[in-house]
Amino acid sequence: MTDSLLNTPVKLGHHTLNNRVVLPPLTRQRSAQPGDIPTALMAEYYRQRASAGFMVSEGTQIEPRGQGYAWTPGIYSPAQIDGWRKVTDAVHADGGVIFAQLWHVGRVSHNALQPDGAAPVAPSALPALQAKAFIQTGPGVGELKQPPVPRALSALEIEELVAQYAQAARNALDAGFDGVEIHSANGYLVNQFISAHSNTRDDQYGGSLHNRLRFLREIVEAVCKVVGPERLGVRFSPLFSGTDQDRVYIGLVEEDPHHTYIEAIKVLEESGIAYVSIAEADWDNAPDLPDTFREAVRSTFSGRIIYAGRYTAERGERLVQAGLADLIAFGRPFIANPDLPQRLFNGWPLNPLREEGMYGGGEAGYIDYPTYSE
């Protein structure tokens, strides 16, 4: 094994992780229907990748209205909890540490995915013009659809949603997860509250940045009471450029993203949570995060910092060496290489990623990628 910094242990909450390679949340759309229930196939997929120092599940919706894509799993029903328990048992049997990502898409949904065909919910009645939902049109087939104009949530409904996040965290612990991550990125519900582009409310949840961060603050406080701050992380996707309009759905570009997200990270620091995860733009020729932002994140937040976004082992190690990151997440490479940490540490070649089976399907493109020894 090489002496890569990525191959060194690191503390995360109560856990001492074996290495600094992270499996980030990756939507794969393999849950059983009806009921959006995690399956034995999903358990095998995560078990194969349990050599990661740390794993985060694919986004799992906290309630039926939180779904924006067909076949994604939930974590609100007894059957879903039982299904996830099979996943966590498989990961723990191979020595892995796994958190559940708690997800609500807000306005990035469609009537076909909503209970009784209702409109999706959001902080304000503003449509997600650059995003697409994915609906089932037949057994195992579907299509992308433009989300409709959402319905603005009432203040009472927002309080109820905060309670649903807390309940989802309880469900995650019941399912055997080691902790939870709040999905506050990619233009989904929590991100919609933070952004002035999607939140035009004039009550305590809108207007000033302090008010727009209230929903995040209340969720973090509520979930901390359930799992403890040492078992909680939050994911953001601060974009410093919006030039690729086809990719706007991965986040919302603020007028001053540096100020917006450093203030958001201050909320996390006040609660003492375990980590913040930063998802960078990952398309071709995407802009890098400014070094000034990375330095501000480090000086603001005393917990662990995870970065994701087309990293190589060398680039990730440089960030750890500079003291700006503690862990590095690898998305596409981990899909194609179930033994990715060992490949990175030994300099072994990587399997190429196949588009087949990226979203939905069965074993192909999911659990059939070979390890290096195979």
Strand bridging mode 141-145 / 133-138: antiparallel
Sign of CA dihedral 294, 23, 275, 155: positive
Task: Count CA atoms within 13 Å of residue 28 on its CB side.
Answer: 28
Q: Give which of 126, 140, 224 is closest to 180, Cα–Cα.
A: 224
Query: How many other C-beta atoms are found inside a 10 Å radius of the C-beta of residue 210?
Result: 11
Amino acid 251 reads: G
At residue 119, the 3 state secondary structure works out as coil
Q: Give which of 44, 17, 22 is closest to 307, Cα–Cα.
A: 22
Q: Is the peptide bond before 127 cis (omega within 30 degrees of 0)?
A: no
Catalytic residue among 45, 69, 188, 275: 188
Strand bridging mode 21-23 / 54-61: parallel
* Residue 165 annotated to the active site: no
Q: How far apart are the first and last CA of the chain?
A: 19
At residue 130, the 3 state secondary structure works out as coil
- What is the distance between the alpha carbons of residues 13 and 70, in angstroms, rounded to a whole number? 33
Question: What separation in angstroms does the CA of 178 have from each of 12, 80, 129, 233?
Answer: 11, 17, 36, 11
Query: Which residues are tagged catalytic?
Result: 188
